[in-house]
Amino acid sequence: MREEDAIILECLEDIYHNYENLLKKAQKIRSIHVQKLEQLLDELVSERRVFEEISIPARLIVEQLLESQFKVGQVGLEAEYLRLPFTGVESVKVEEFGIIRLKLGEVEISWRDGNYSYYLYPDKVELRATDEKSSIKLFFSISFNRQTIERFPEILNSTNVVYTHPQLEKWIRKV
């Protein structure tokens, strides 16, 4: 784990423990605001899982999706018989057991990190089930940039990455 990741994770832990204590105080109060605080606690847990429970390629994808969400980028989707044109990223969550839940517009899709292999291209990612019976393609309006890719050199050694586009590989190797 990189030093900057450890710092972010430590910050998330501190916030999480403070929230837990605050929720104990508010436990007996019947208010929608308490439910909102509980929802925020769930979001903190999801953020921690990005660092603790998913593989490096899955983390790269999650960070790209979050970047699309906050920079008003759009993501297209193909999965089985479903085709979704470019639309906004509503939410990205990492749940227990490495399940990644993505909401694009009104469509929600999820996959378990450990059950998929990754094919990485500059402007898309293909996720193929290890049994090769299903696949998910995510298309990005904001392509991967060099700074983001260089932060994940471990991708080249990741066992669940099957293909890395030559341009991405050059950036990872800092050529």
CA–CA separation, 165 vs 112, rounded Å? 23
Over residues 28-37, the mean pLDDT reads 85
48-50-51 Cα angle (round to 5):
70
- Report residue 94 as tokens: 């990492």
- Report residue 32 as tokens: 């929608």
53 close to 62: Cβ distance less than 8 angstroms? no
More confident call, 19 vs 78 = 78
Nearest CA among 120, 119, 117 for reference residue 129: 117
Nearest CA among 158, 168, 144 for reference residue 56: 158
115 close to 128: Cβ distance less than 8 angstroms? no
Query: Which helix H or strand E contains 33, and what residues bound it?
Result: helix 32-52
Amino acid 74: pLDDT: 95
Over residues 95-117, the mean pLDDT reads 95
Over residues 143-147, the mean pLDDT reads 90
Over residues 116-129, the mean pLDDT reads 96
Amino acid 93: pLDDT: 95
CA–CA separation, 119 vs 124, rounded Å? 9
Amino acid 101: pLDDT: 97
Over residues 9-17, the mean pLDDT reads 91
What percent of the chain clears pLDDT 90, i.e. is strictly above it? 63
Amino acid 33: pLDDT: 85
CA–CA separation, 101 vs 14, rounded Å? 25
The model carries a pTM of: 0.88
CA–CA separation, 112 vs 129, rounded Å? 9
Say whether pLDDT at 109 is over 90.
yes
Number of other CB atoms surrounding residue 89 within 10 Å: 22
